[in-house]
């Protein structure tokens, strides 16, 4: 049986397998013990040199498959580390977002509490008030995030006229309270002081609907609140 020397191929294959194995070891976090690559390569070459020529293709195929397997393992390790890094980054971003949301909510609650504590006595008494003045009062009493909804309701109910009266029902003021005497729970000067009416209207929306924006959502669906 004729033989051909496959020493060159054996040396190259053994060297490639050793190199790929080293890369996989590094990717997996392990460090292989020192070894004599020259002796291993020479030994493998001697053994492969005795392989009949007809079987050399099988040896080459097996070697390539082994190299591909090592490369796949290294790729899997790399992908795993990238996924872990991405998960850590996402968790950190989520934590930051939650912290910012909590801080914003706390700030809004503090603002709402401070504004809700304001009363008619915090504003100078006048004989009459313009729409702009009434809106300015409301802006100082209603939380900024709720003001537009609050304003939408007043626009529809009275157009910011604190003396508005419904001729058929007797509903009165900025919020068309019925009966009109409901405003008295916020202050005795409800007929002449829009700040008192604003305080009553805000309390009503908060207690019945949870907030002016919830009240506005109900108004949009029903055209009353």
Mean pLDDT, the chain, whole residue set: 78
Same structural domain, 88 and 51: yes
Residue with tokens 């909590």: 102
Which pLDDT belongs to residue 69? 81
pLDDT (average), residues 135-152: 96
Of residues 213, 222, 177, 224, the one with CA closest to residue 198: 177
Is residue 178 one of the residues assigned to a domain? Answer: yes
Instruction: Find the farthest-apart pair of alpha carbons in the chain and give their distance in angstroms, rounded.
Output: 123
Of 59, 80, 112, the position where a domain reaches its end is 112
Question: Greater confidence, 30 or 214?
Answer: 214
Same structural domain, 91 and 149: no
Same structural domain, 105 and 36: yes
Same structural domain, 45 and 92: yes
pLDDT (average), residues 167-194: 96
Which pLDDT belongs to residue 110? 66
Question: Greater confidence, 114 or 141?
Answer: 141
Q: Which domain holds residue 24?
A: 7-112
Is residue 132 one of the residues assigned to a domain? Answer: yes
Which pLDDT belongs to residue 111? 65
Is residue 1 one of the residues assigned to a domain? Answer: no
Query: Using an 8 Å Cβ cutoff, are 199 and 174 in contact?
Result: no
Is residue 208 one of the residues assigned to a domain? Answer: yes
Is residue 118 one of the residues assigned to a domain? Answer: no
Same structural domain, 191 and 212: yes
Which pLDDT belongs to residue 154? 98
Taken as a whole, the chain contains a residue count of 225
Of 69, 84, 112, the position where a domain reaches its end is 112
Query: Using an 8 Å Cβ cutoff, are 196 and 120 in contact?
Result: yes
Write out the two tokens for 102: 């909590």
pLDDT (average), residues 22-30: 41
Same structural domain, 93 and 152: no
The per-residue b/e assignment along 80-107, b for 16 or more CB within 10 angstroms, e otherwise, is eeeeeeeeeeeeeeeeeeeeeeeeeeee
Percent of the chain with pLDDT over 70: 65
d(CA 192, CA 174): 12
pTM, two decimals, is 0.53
Counting the structural domains of the chain, the total is 2
Task: Give the other-Cβ count within 10 Å of 157's Cβ.
Answer: 21
What is the torsional sign of CA 63, 66, 68, 71?
negative
Is residue 2 one of the residues assigned to a domain? Answer: no
Is residue 33 one of the residues assigned to a domain? Answer: yes
Same structural domain, 154 and 194: yes
Same structural domain, 104 and 131: no
């Amino acid at each position: 049986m004729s033989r051909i020397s496959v020493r060159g191929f054996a040396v190259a294959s053994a060297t490639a397998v050793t190199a790929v194995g080293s890369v996989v070891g590094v990717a997996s976090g392990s460090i292989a013990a020192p070894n004599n690559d020259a002796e291993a390569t020479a030994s493998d070459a001697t053994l492969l040199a005795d392989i009949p020529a007809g079987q050399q293709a099988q040896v080459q195929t097996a070697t390539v498959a082994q190299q591909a397997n090592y490369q796949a393992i290294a790729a899997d390790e790399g992908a795993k580390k990238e996924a872990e890094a991405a998960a850590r980054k996402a968790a950190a971003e989520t934590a930051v977002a939650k912290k910012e949301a909590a801080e914003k909510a706390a700030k809004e609650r503090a603002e709402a509490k401070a504004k809700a504590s304001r009363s008619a006595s915090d504003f100078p008494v006048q004989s009459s008030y313009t729409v702009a003045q009434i809106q300015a009062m409301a802006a100082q009493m209603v939380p900024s995030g709720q003001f537009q909804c609050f304003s939408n309701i007043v626009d529809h109910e009275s157009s910011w006229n604190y003396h508005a009266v419904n001729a058929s029902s007797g509903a009165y003021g900025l919020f068309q309270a019925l009966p009109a005497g409901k405003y008295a729970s916020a202050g005795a000067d409800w007929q002449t002081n829009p700040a008192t009416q604003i305080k009553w209207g805000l309390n009503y929306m908060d207690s019945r609907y949870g907030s002016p924006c919830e009240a506005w959502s109900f108004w949009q669906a029903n055209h009353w609140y």
